[in-house]
Structure 1
Amino acid sequence: MLLCKGVEVEMYTGTPTGDVVGLSDRIVRDLEGFVREPDSRNVEYTTAPLCCYDRLLCALLKPRQSLRQYLEQQGNYTIIPGSTLSLGGSERFYRSDPHNPYHSYIEETYGTKVVTASIHLNIGIPSTEILIQACRLVRVEAPLYLALSASSPFLDGQVTGYHSTRWQMFPKTPQHVPLFTSHPHFIAWTQEQLAQGKMQNVRHLWTSVRPNGDRRPYLLNRLELRICDLIIDPLQLLAVIALLEARITQLIENPQLDPLQLSSLSPEKMLELTDNNELAAAANSLDAQLSHWKDGRTIVAREWIEELYQEVFPVAKKHGFACFLSPLSKILQQGNQAQRWLKQYKQGLSIEQIMTESIETTAIQEQELESKICAKLLVA
């Protein structure tokens, strides 16, 4: 049986040459299903929780097609790939809702460090304690998903030296988040953070992975992976989701995979390694030297992902979604978005040329996918 999956997609809007332009007030006013972020240059949509991968693909594509058509009507605007303000604009915050006090707090506290675009993956897990257990496992492996998704090597027209500039600068909050041992532990910890003012509200937990639900921290029903940069390629996004689902399904079927049971390291040491792994993955993504949570051994991110792929493939095959894992091989062989862009840069293309080409290629690919896949589903 497949787990339910929902995706929160944050994207920039702007010109076909890659300049980001804030249009979220118009988009939210005129298009159903889109919500604003604190900065007007971002807009977000969320898919419904779906089990079927084909339907999830269409749920990802259809809002984008509506948004693309709308943006063209507004003045030849489009969707911008990447997870940072690649060509410029990080010196100023453009408020989407000047009267929202939480947005005021975000602008005053973090500035444009939070003006990034990302993908949040939500996987439904009905048992609360299994959900907390899954959060532990995904937390220590989250750097692998960052390595696969990195798409922000540029900021303000410069090469930053990071493959995920977004995660390198994003203000993780609170600064120390433990490996939660149980649901009551998560409740007590959240209450303590709110009382101390380290979190402004229950949503103000900005870490790589967190428990999520309709009434946090009490009613939880899904794991939310927040570390991924924007994966603009829908098929590659499905592959990353399939890897995550297969790993969680493997844990559900074999609870001994829990890091608290399987690792020879203390929880504090695992967290220390994981924090360092996140920074290493932000810098070098698939080529990063990481430390394995099981025993602390050094392993390259690409090799770790390959090991994980081989381990979970039988699980995905058993549950009928192994085919959706296949694009992972292409990412491992050809590089993620950031690595492909940096290769083009080294070959002599300017950042504006790279963004312009990527914008055009993405629009064509999405149109072809929607007409090929979604039309069949409607007929069926």
Structure 2
Amino acid sequence: MGAVARESVRNLTVGVEEEFFLVDTSGHLSNAGPDVVAEVGEDISGLQRELSRPQIETATGVCSTGEEVHEQLRTLRSSLVKVAADRDLLLLPSGTPLMVEERPAAITPTPRYQQMARRFGPIVDSVTTCGCHVHVGIPNREIGVQVSNYLRGWLPVVLALSANSPVHNGRDTGYHSWRHILWSRWPSAGPPPRFDSAEEYEGIVDAMIASGAALDRGMIYWHIRLSDDQPTIEIRIADVAMTAAHASVYAIAAKGLVGWALRCIEEGEAVDSPRIELLRAEQWRAAREGLDGECTSPVSTRTLPIRRQLELLHDSVSHILGAEDRAFLEAGLDSMLRDGTGAERQRAEFERHGSTADVLALLTREVTS
């Protein structure tokens, strides 16, 4: 196992999936998502329909560096901005809708999505949100569940860094990631358990589906899960990022943390894996307070400010990443700490003008950067 983990550390790859809203020029949700996918899906990498009609999703190819991730995300976002503009629409990179809507978002009319709507009822109406999912390559599922165990403690830190949904229904919610709170309504959502083996992982997945809390494996909404379609582990706690640059920083941080976990496995280094009750509580605080919060450090087991935790994250992954990605991550973290996360910038704009229209202008102006 040591040799397998060591080889994987040297050859880490990463891919990013992003969900977006399509809105009209006033910021209200548009139902054009399925139509856009049908018309231009073959021309844009990984373009897919989502649960609600105002949403669309893209996916990068397999990337090796942060610069490659950033370039692919900028290209995908720019393509979608043009597609939207051709229909007098805007591409909105926010974890939650900004405006008060007269009615819940319409469901995309596929048999699976319609079954979800029947099974889960009003939950479906309340979870119209957009996230960002990062896939990092792993050697096999047995090592993957061990990686998940190591990553669990970093989830509050990653959530605070990637928060981008303070505004919802025309007001500041007081949370940095209101999407996290809404998404937690799914019975299958939340931090993953700690697993002793891949067999236990599969047993819990099967039991959740048998319970009715998930229709199928695609509805296992843990913040870390193993992909069924490719040899990756998926970190899926983040809001969709305000900018392509923010999403790329998150992706390389996730890549580095997976490498850190693989190195710990190789060297037999134990790391405390928090109880799920504590993890849920600390994720709530990260969603509420963002970078100004505190949580238990996964490398020191002490409660520390999240801004200090980002320094520890950087220190933990810096010897894992190559020189190019180390520089990319350091510059990206410095920029976000200086200029603000997506949530901080949305909130500052809202406080400055008291208008969701100004937040909409900020987000749509910055979407391709």
Range of TM-score over shorter length: 0.7 to 0.9
Whether the aligned pair in 1 keeps the contact of 2:54 and 2:105 (CA below 8 Å) is no
2:328 is matched with which residue? Answer: 324
Q: Indicate yes or no: 2:126 matched with 1:121.
A: no
Deviations 1:116-162 (A, max 9, x none): 01101111101322211111122221111111111111111011111
Q: Indicate yes or no: 2:352 matched with 1:347.
A: yes
2:94 corresponds to which letter in structure 1?
A: G
2:97 is matched with which residue? Answer: 85
Residues in 2 aligned to 1:202 and 1:335: alpha-carbon distance in whole angstroms: 36
1:285 is matched with which residue? Answer: 290
Q: Indicate yes or no: 2:30 matched with 1:25.
A: no
1:250 corresponds to which letter in structure 2?
A: W
Deviation at 1:225, TM superposition (A): 0.8
Match of 1:64 among 59, 64, 77: 77
Residues in 1 aligned to 2:315 and 2:26: alpha-carbon distance in whole angstroms: 40
What count of residue pairs does the alignment treat as equivalent?
A: 352
Evaluate the alpha carbon distance shift between residue 258 and residue 298 of structure 1 in structure 2; reply closer, same or farther with a 3 A threshold.
farther
Residues in 1 aligned to 2:50 and 2:119: alpha-carbon distance in whole angstroms: 11
Deviation at 1:338, TM superposition (A): 0.9
Whether the aligned pair in 1 keeps the contact of 2:145 and 2:198 (CA below 8 Å) is yes
1:240 is matched with which residue? Answer: 250
Whether the aligned pair in 1 keeps the contact of 2:24 and 2:90 (CA below 8 Å) is yes
Deviation at 1:294, TM superposition (A): 5.5
1:253 corresponds to which letter in structure 2?
A: R
| Structure 1: 5+ residue stretches without partners | 215-219, 366-380
Residues in 1 aligned to 2:214 and 2:233: alpha-carbon distance in whole angstroms: 19
Q: Indicate yes or no: 2:112 matched with 1:97.
A: no
Deviations 1:29-81 (A, max 9, x none): 1112421112101111112222243333332222322222222222x212012
1:251 is matched with which residue? Answer: 261
1:38 is matched with which residue? Answer: 51
Evaluate the alpha carbon distance shift between residue 57 and residue 295 of structure 1 in structure 2; reply closer, same or farther with a 3 A threshold.
closer
Whether the aligned pair in 2 keeps the contact of 1:97 and 1:103 (CA below 8 Å) is no
1:13 is matched with which residue? Answer: 22
Moved over 6 A (4+): 256-259
1:208 is matched with which residue? Answer: 223
| Structure 2: 5+ residue stretches without partners | 1-9
Evaluate the alpha carbon distance shift between residue 147 and residue 119 of structure 1 in structure 2; reply closer, same or farther with a 3 A threshold.
same
1:156 is matched with which residue? Answer: 169
Higher relative contact order, structure no. (Cα contacts within 8 Å, ≥ 6 residues apart) = 2
2:226 corresponds to which letter in structure 1?
A: P
Q: What is the DSSP-based 3-state SS (H/G/I as helix, E as strand, rest coil) of the residue aligned with 2:133?
A: strand
CA RMSD of aligned residues (A): 2.3
2:204 is matched with which residue? Answer: 189
1:51 is matched with which residue? Answer: 64
TM-score by length of 2: 0.88
Return 161-170 or 126-135, whichever deviates more: 126-135
Q: What is the DSSP-based 3-state SS (H/G/I as helix, E as strand, rest coil) of the residue aligned with 1:262?
A: coil
Deviations 1:219-263 (A, max 9, x none): x6211111100113112221111111112112222327889x332
Match of 1:178 among 179, 188, 193: 193
